[in-house]
């Protein structure tokens, strides 16, 4: 039985394809988010809060697969922009709750336009995008199961 060929060139590595695609995706988002004064990490954080407001910092960090020490400066910038507020939980003052402000909630209208533009920018069908997201979710889950994190 033949062994599968193990890629040795960067262009043949799945990690390189994901890495290169991420950089292009990030540049595309930057173009759409610049008028709102947001970065992609800020935007995706707001997206999570639009789904469910008033989340603990630890829950946001988990959903973003980010360390709380990395998320805290991002949240401080969003707070300075007036889009979120951070308050200590009354039942446990060690926990910080992040809540959207009126300004943060208002940005959601813009987000729908950004999503539509990004979908159009890909030139892919929704079926292709859905299949890719399914494959990437399986990739992430497989790696998390085997290497943790």
- Note the pLDDT of residue 91: 83
Instruction: For residue 35, give the H/E element and its range.
Output: none
Q: What number is the average pLDDT over the span 32-55?
A: 95
Work out the mean pLDDT of the chain and round it to a whole number: 92
State how beta strands 55-56 and 84-88 pair: unpaired
Contact 26, 87 (CB under 8 A): no
Structure tokens at 68: 């709380």
Residue 149 has pLDDT above 70, yes or no: no
Structure tokens at 52: 């469910």
Q: What number is the average pLDDT over the span 113-136?
A: 95
CATH number of this structure's domain 28-112: 1.10.10.10
- Listed by start position, the domains of the chain span 28-112
Instruction: Give CA–CA dist 92/90, Å, rounded.
Output: 6
pTM: 0.86
Q: Which of 6-10, 32-36, 61-65, 86-90 has the lowest mean pLDDT?
A: 6-10
Instruction: Give CA–CA dist 8/6, Å, rounded.
Output: 6
């Amino acid at each position: 039985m033949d062994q599968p060929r193990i890629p040795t060139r960067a262009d043949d590595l799945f990690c390189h394809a994901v890495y290169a695609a991420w950089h292009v995706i990030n540049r595309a988002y930057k173009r759409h988010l610049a008028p709102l004064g947001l970065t992609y990490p800020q935007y995706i954080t707001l997206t999570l809060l639009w789904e469910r407001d008033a989340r603990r910092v630890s829950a946001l960090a988990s959903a973003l697969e980010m360390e709380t020490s990395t998320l805290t400066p991002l949240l401080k910038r969003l707070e300075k922009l007036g889009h979120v507020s951070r308050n200590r939980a009354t039942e446990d003052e060690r926990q910080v709750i992040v809540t959207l402000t009126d300004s943060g909630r208002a940005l959601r209208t813009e987000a729908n336009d950004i999503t539509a533009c990004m979908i159009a920018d890909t030139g892919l069908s929704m079926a292709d995008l859905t299949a890719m997201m399914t494959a990437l979710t399986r990739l992430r889950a497989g790696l998390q199961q085997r290497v943790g994190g």
